[in-house]
Amino acid sequence: MLKYFASRLLTFIPTFLGVTIISFSFIRVLPGDPIIVMAGERGLTDERYAELTAQFGFDRPIYIQFWDYFTGVLQGDLGDSFVTKRPVWDEFFALFPATLELAVCAMIFAVLLGLPAGVIAAVNRGKFLDRALMSSALVGYSMPIFWWALLLIIVFSGDLQWTPVSGRIDLIYYFPDPTGFMLIDSLASGQKGAFASAVRHLVLPTIVLGTIPLAVIARQTRSAMLEVLGEDYIRTARAKGLSPGRINGIHALRNALIPVITVIGLSVGTLLGGAILTETIFSWPGVGKWMLDSIFRRDYPVVQGGLLMIAVMVMVVNLTVDVLYGIINPKIRKR
């Protein structure tokens, strides 16, 4: 098992290097001069422009800029924001709990609905329930996030007024947030109605962000279940008189989980990527909105550091999924 884990861990090195190069290059291929964006065109003399260019190191060759950035990353230094002058590391971890809270709730929503939907569709293969569930999954996967979010806002926040439009909690509540997770901090505050307010603010963003992973998990679960349900040991279990619930829920689903776990792991990247649009639409103060604002401001260190941190987290999740493969199916360790 240790050898298997080490082989998977070694893939981190080229992946990390590639992500570092991409994160460094991405913001620089966009049109716009960060010096002009920061200082403004009015009153920006040639002398002042040259001074700022030298101050931020833009006058040096690009390969030297990358080397300085890369060596800083290896030392745990992602640089300071051009706008706020604060370390990117501090800003990221100050905002990341909001994004993580949203992503976790969206994944729970997707798994709790996607797994049963896939199992039910597989058990009722070819029937109306199967077609209805898979058609709904296809619609959910096809809907653009921004359109789906605006539709839910119009219906549930505008017409029905059941949920708030934006933010993480009503402005009437104020309390310390030591963890950064609004659900935990509002519950710990003891203020009446604070936790309920945090939940209401979380409902629509969770549904919007979790819809696409839900659809993918449902379709993958159905496919994996259909393959397993045709195996000999399932027919043997039926011949022994085991109940359909035990056959489908324990014997079949357990052996169909490996491809489903793969999809769940890959969905982490989808959640973090979709969080940019979701957080922007719902004014959710997380990493996605922070990075989008930084792109418009040409805040190089923030964009580079944010992309790198998110990529590393996706890599860690994928490594965890690979290790789970080895635990669930020992044959995989020998490959």
Q: State the pLDDT at residue 111.
A: 92
Percent helix, strand, coil in the chain, to 5, is: 75, 0, 25
- How many C-beta atoms surround the C-beta of residue 43 within 10 A? 7
Kindly report the CATH class assigned to 93-290: mainly alpha
CA angle centred on 82, ends 76 and 84, rounded to 5° = 90
Model pLDDT for residues 66-94, shown as the tens digit of each residue: 898 888 888 888 888 888 888 999 999 88
What mean pLDDT value characterizes the chain? 83
| Two tokens, residue 334 | 């020998």
Task: Name the band, by pLDDT with cuts 50, 70 and 90, for residue 317.
Answer: confident
State the Cα–Cα distance between residues 121 and 176, nearest whole angstrom.
46
pTM, two decimal places? 0.82
- How many C-beta atoms surround the C-beta of residue 158 within 10 A? 12
Model pLDDT for residues 190-246, shown as the tens digit of each residue: 889 899 999 999 999 999 999 999 999 999 989 888 888 877 777 777 777 777 777
What one-letter code names the amino acid at 252? A
Instruction: Pick 261 or 120 by higher pLDDT.
Output: 120
Q: Is residue 279 within 8 Å of 63, Cβ to Cβ?
A: no
Model pLDDT for residues 136-161, shown as the tens digit of each residue: 998 988 888 888 999 999 999 988 98
For 80, residues 6+ apart whose C-beta sits below 8 A from its C-beta are 86, 87, 88, 301
| In the chain, ranges of CATH 1.10.3720.10 domains | 93-290
Helices 287-296 and 300-328: crossing angle, nearest 10°? 140
257-292 exposure pattern, b = at least 16 Cβ within 10 A, e = fewer? beebbbbbbbbbbbbbebbbbbbbbbebbbbbbbbb
Concatenating the DSSP letter of every residue in 24-87 gives HHHGGGSSS-HHHHHH-STT--HHHHHHHHHHTTTTS-HHHHHHHHHHHHHTT---B-TTT-SB
CA angle centred on 311, ends 310 and 317, rounded to 5° = 90
Q: Is residue 57 within 8 Å of 301, Cβ to Cβ?
A: no
